[in-house]
Amino acid sequence: MYAILDIESTGGKYNEEGIMEIAIHQFDGEKVTDTFISLLNPEREIQPFVAKLTGINNKMVKNAPKFYEVAKRILEITEDCVIVAHNAQFDYRILRTEFRRLGYDYQRKTLCTVDLSKELIPDAESHSLGKLVRSLGIAVSDRHRANGDALATLKLFKLLLAKDTEKKIVKSIIKAETLGELSPTQLDIVEALPSESGLYYMHDKDGDILFIGNSKNIKKRVNQHFTNVGDMARKLQKETKKVTFERTGGELDSLIKEAEEIRRNKPKYNRKQKPIGFSHGIYLIENEEGDILLKPQKANHKNARLSSFGSLKTAKTFLTRLKEKYGVNLEQNRDEQNNIVQELFMDYSTFNRDLIIIDRGRSLGEKAVFLIKKGTLVGMAYTDLNHQINNIAILETLLTPIKGTPYITFIIETLLRKKNRLNIIDLNQN
């Protein structure tokens, strides 16, 4: 017996969301045997983007039943059932969270139609619910409402059951352990982690680091590691005995510290970093008339570079954006337009420059500071006093040394293009 489920949640911080609508269709493999559909008063604000997406607002759910009033009905309709949902990990987590708030440990086996469809319909252009059912010619209405999505999932599940003629995939995915369910040890690990930005380190029984990652929400990301499917996820679930963490500030220090610590520690399950760092760049080329032109081309570390990119396509796209912004063909520049190119170089490039880059720190008033010499990062520090930044001698004593690889240069120049709250001090102009 299956319980085809869809939940619409309020959005908000991880594990603080509430259910605002739920639809459950009890399904015996051939027909629906019971149905429960209801708006719920989540007893918390619905996030504006969720209201826009679903059409459900705070006024609509004001007089709807609260979760505790329907909890018994949910228990009954899902009893002895495998919960089936599109992205079952999410729906099951939200449902378990609501029951935990009532002091009840709700447990069911789960089956995810995303995983099933990837196995049985591997050539689909997309495995998102809307695109997948449309590509299969399955009629769907009321998208992003609980019953509309539950009915679409039900129709998809019927098709997947029919395709699974040998029943091997269904048997392998419906495991003895519930999908998305944490062991007591994993649950304790996740609960001890902060819902904040930073690095996390997954350790084995000997304390060795298996994996280093960074996330804007450490608790949420580690929970995903423990509930995801896939070979690496299962290995991490089996081998991880402890998770430690370190808070970071902005995106730049998080990415740089992650890259540096992966390089130093070489964790078992992190991908090796490519030594070249980036494959293409936009370079400053001077023509015979003395005009400074910008050209996207394959990476080299000799010519003056405006910025570095992971592909030729992204380099060309960024250059097109600059042309549109300034109304100038920067690949066929004229003498009077050279100043624009020089200004762009000052905004986006680290090539052969001495710079201090400042990002937000880990707490109010603190700053993350990065020192670049001759285009290469030499170290970073957290400071809360301006004179520690303005005095290079003091700053250098505070720095944690970092090996400035081409990959780290790529990270820095990528974020410079985003204008990601970064403040740049050009030391050559001081």
User: Which 3 state secondary structure label does DSSP give 203?
Assistant: strand
Q: Which amino acid is at 146?
A: A
Distance CA 344, CA 109 (A): 56
Q: Is the pLDDT of residue 332 over 70?
A: no
In this structure, of 34-43, 303-312, 386-395, the range with the lowest mean pLDDT score is: 386-395
Contact of 206 with 158, CB cutoff 8 Å: no
Residues 43-50 have a mean pLDDT of 90
| pLDDT value at residue 70 | 94
- The dihedral region occupied by 365, where left means phi > 0, alpha psi between -120 and 50, and beta the remainder, is left
Q: Tell me the sheet residues that pair with 368.
A: 359, 382
- The pTM for the full model equals 0.62
Specify the residue for token string 């009321």: 142
pLDDT surpasses 50 at 175: no
The pLDDT value recorded for residue 121 is 86
Q: Give residue 39's pLDDT band: very low, low, confident or very high (50, 70, 90).
A: very high
The DSSP line for 415-426 is HHHHT-S-EEEE
The pLDDT value given to residue 177: 45
Angle at 216 between CA 211 and CA 219, to 5 degrees: 65
Q: Distance (Å, rounded) from C-alpha 364 to C-alpha 194?
A: 17
Statement: residue 105 has pLDDT above 50: yes
- Whether residue 252 contacts residue 415, with contact meaning beta carbons closer than 8 Å, is answered with yes
* Structure confidence by residue, pLDDT tens digits, 112-170: 888 888 888 888 888 888 888 888 888 778 878 999 999 999 989 988 887 776 666 66
Q: Which residues pair with 201 in a beta bridge?
A: 212, 244
Span 333-375, pLDDT tens digits: 565 567 788 788 888 999 999 999 999 998 888 899 999 999 9
Task: Report CA dihedral (282, 283, 288, 289) to the nearest 10 degrees.
Answer: 70
Output the DSSP codes for 151-167: HHHHHHHHHHHHH-TT-
Measured from the Cβ of residue 382, the count of other Cβ atoms closer than 10 Å reads: 17
Q: Which two tokens stand for residue 318?
A: 């960024």
DSSP code per residue over 243-261: EEEEE--SHHHHHHHHHHH
Cβ atoms within 10 Å, residue 168: 10
DSSP 82-145: EEEETTHHHHHHHHHHHHHHTT------EEEHHHHHHHHSTT-S--SHHHHHHHTT----STTS
Segment 224-233, tens digit of pLDDT:
898 876 788 8
Residue with structure tokens 């020192």?
371
Q: Do residues 116 and 160 make contact, with C-beta atoms less than 8 angstroms apart?
A: yes
Judge contact between 224 and 190, C-beta under 8 A: no
pLDDT of residue 281: 92
CA dihedral for 358, 360, 362, 364, sign (positive or negative): positive
For residue 174, the model assigns a pLDDT of 53
Q: How confident is the model at residue 176 (pLDDT cuts 50, 70, 90)?
A: very low
Is the pLDDT reported for residue 285 higher than 90?
no
Dump pLDDT digits (tens) for 385-427.
887 888 888 888 888 889 899 999 999 999 999 876 788 888 8
* 409 phi and psi angles, rounded to 5 deg: -60, -45
Tokens at 29, concatenated: 């493999």
Q: How far apart are CA 32 and CA 102, in angstroms?
A: 29
Q: Are 296 and 281 in contact (CB under 8 A)?
A: yes
Between strands 400-401 and 376-383, the pairing is antiparallel
Mean pLDDT computed over every residue of the chain = 86
Cβ pair 229, 178 in contact under 8 A: no
Measured between alpha carbons, how far is 186 from 241 in angstroms, rounded to an integer?
8
DSSP annotation string for 30-83: SSEEEEEEEE-B-SSPPPHHHHHHH---HHHHTTSPBHHHHHHHHHHHHTT-EE
Which of 213, 217, 211 has its CA nearest to residue 199? 213
The pLDDT assigned to 345 comes to 85
CA–CA separation, 156 and 173 (whole Å): 17
Q: Which residues contact 250 (CB under 8 A, 6 or more apart)?
A: 359, 360, 361, 368, 420, 421, 422
Token pair of 17 as six digits? 């969301």
How many angstroms separate the CA atoms of 104 and 106, rounded? 6
